[in-house]
Amino acid sequence: MKRRRISSPCRAQRRTAGFTLLEVLVALVIVGTALGSSLRAVGSLTQNSSGLRTSMMATWSAENRLAQIRLAKEYPPVGKRSFECPQGTLNLVCEEEVLSTPNPFFRRVEVSVFDAEQTDRRIIKLAQIVSGS
């Protein structure tokens, strides 16, 4: 008599339940790739945030100088001058250039703000017209 092997339903279920090692490894690779991409994105956002902060502080420095001219009702002489204009922990250098206009009663004032460590890198430039009354 030949013996027949009868497979029980429990044995078949045990084989199909769970994940294979290959499936787990593929899932880990997918999760690792997603985490790496998200870390790169967070790093990029941090760099952008720092740049925006620097730009905002530089804008404040330039606006402060232009407001100072308006409030004092200055009619600055034509020429160029540089001065320190730090904001918080940022060391900034402002460069003010006063230009004549076709109308002798008006002058154009341009204020450029540079990073003190990288003086060739202009962060912002603002301009306004002032009158000599």
Q: For 22-131, which CATH superfamily applies?
A: GSPII I/J protein-like (3.30.1300.30)
Q: Where are the domains of the chain?
A: 22-131
Strands 92-100 and 106-115: antiparallel
Distance (Å, rounded) from C-alpha 109 to C-alpha 132?
13
Please list the pLDDT of the chain residue by residue as tens digits (133 residues). 566 665 555 555 555 678 888 889 999 999 999 999 888 888 887 778 888 889 999 999 999 999 999 999 999 999 999 999 999 888 999 999 999 999 999 999 999 999 988 888 899 999 999 987 6
Whether pTM > 0.75 for this model: the answer is no
CB 65 within 8 Å of CB 98: no
